[in-house]
A = this chain, B = another copy of it.
């Protein structure tokens, strides 16, 4: 695509634009009876439970187009949504995408956004089956709904954790938050001196954690392979602290997390130190890592011994409710966990 070409949305008109954007859809699932193009999509989930989740992403709140490539944004909008389906130990199959777009946006810019959406549809093996396209007077608005299927006796909720269960996380934490801090820092430098080049070298990992997070689709597959159904599961969108507190509250339990067990990537820790932020705080309160946090019975522990390339970290255990929800620090002190809210990505489901 040429950077120079800018086709105004008005040139295509509404129906022309929708046709342009949806022409590239290839449907992958025979469960998709009817995709885009009617009043509603028709899906076939016989003999499985239907899982539904939705996210709303608003410009200026959830993303900043000054440093977020549109293709990455489209990808991320899908990834964060299917992440909620994996957190149910289910498989996403279909998504709808609604967009509120400024008339100033070009067709080519929208194509970039959709390139990211379609790339995510391929990676997560979901069909785009519907949506709503409208003009916006203000910024870009993206609403994604993911629909998937799960087996009744394998679905994992937030309310099944039991005392003595082990608390597991599927990867390192805090990276997405430090990626955001880095981007915001370089934006401020740029605003002070537009000649300045952003200094992002050596930070590829945390930048990708922020700009192109992946939902952990391998985890439900792994759990199925080794025959484990977690007693509870949630994805980490708001930060470890909030998420484990959701599990404890709904399961009527307490917990102990161990600071020295929480996985933090060296790049995350290095930049956090440089910025005067405690690396553990980035993991606890940072959010947007989209790793899966789950609890397992101790009797299932052995099954995780040989899981190949997949890293599963055991970071603590569930306790009786009366014991409260605490972090045990490296200095062996107990610090009560705090819930965060109104973080960049906030969700109620």
Using a CB–CB cutoff of 8 Å, the interface residues on chain A facing chain B are: 13-15, 18, 22, 33-34, 36-47, 49-56, 58-62, 84-85, 87-88, 90, 94, 96, 98-100, 129-139, 141, 143, 145-148, 150, 152, 155, 157-159, 233-235, 250, 339, 341-342, 346-349
Q: Are B13 and A133 in contact (CB under 8 A)?
A: no
Q: Are A39 and B158 in contact (CB under 8 A)?
A: yes
- In order of increasing CB-CB distance, the 3 nearest A-B pairs are A14-B341, A40-B53, A130-B349
Quick one: closest B residue to A139, CB to CB?
B138
Q: Are A50 and B39 in contact (CB under 8 A)?
A: no
Known: A15-B339, A54-B132; 15 extra A-B contacts, CB below 8 A, are A13-B341, A13-B342, A14-B342, A22-B348, A37-B348, A38-B158, A39-B233, A39-B235, A40-B51, A42-B155, A60-B138, A61-B100, A96-B145, A130-B349, A137-B138
Q: In the complex, which residues of chain B have a beta carbon less than 8 angstroms from the beta carbon of A133?
A: 346, 348
Q: Are B138 and A349 in contact (CB under 8 A)?
A: no
Quick one: closest B residue to A55, CB to CB?
B132
CA distance A342 to B18 in the complex (A): 11
- A39 partner, pick from B40, B62, B349, beta carbons under 8 A: B349
Q: Report copies per complex.
A: 2
Least CB distance from A144 to B in Å reads 9
CA distance A87 to B131 in the complex (A): 16
Least CB distance from A138 to B in Å reads 4
Q: Are A52 and B349 in contact (CB under 8 A)?
A: no
Quick one: closest B residue to A22, CB to CB?
B348
CA distance A131 to B349 in the complex (A): 6
Q: In the complex, which residues of chain B have a beta carbon less than 8 angstroms from the beta carbon of A51?
A: 40-43
Quick one: closest B residue to A100, CB to CB?
B58
Known: A22-B348, A134-B58, A341-B13. A43 touches B47 (CB 8 A): no
Least CB distance from A178 to B in Å reads 22
Least CB distance from A217 to B in Å reads 14
Known: A52-B96, A53-B130, A136-B58. A349 touches B36 (CB 8 A): yes
Q: Are B46 and A47 in contact (CB under 8 A)?
A: yes
CA distance A3 to B74 in the complex (A): 42
20 residue pairs bridging A and B, Cβ less than 8 Å apart:
A13-B342, A15-B339, A18-B348, A22-B348, A38-B159, A39-B88, A39-B235, A42-B50, A42-B88, A43-B49, A46-B47, A54-B96, A54-B132, A55-B98, A56-B99, A58-B141, A60-B137, A61-B100, A134-B346, A141-B141
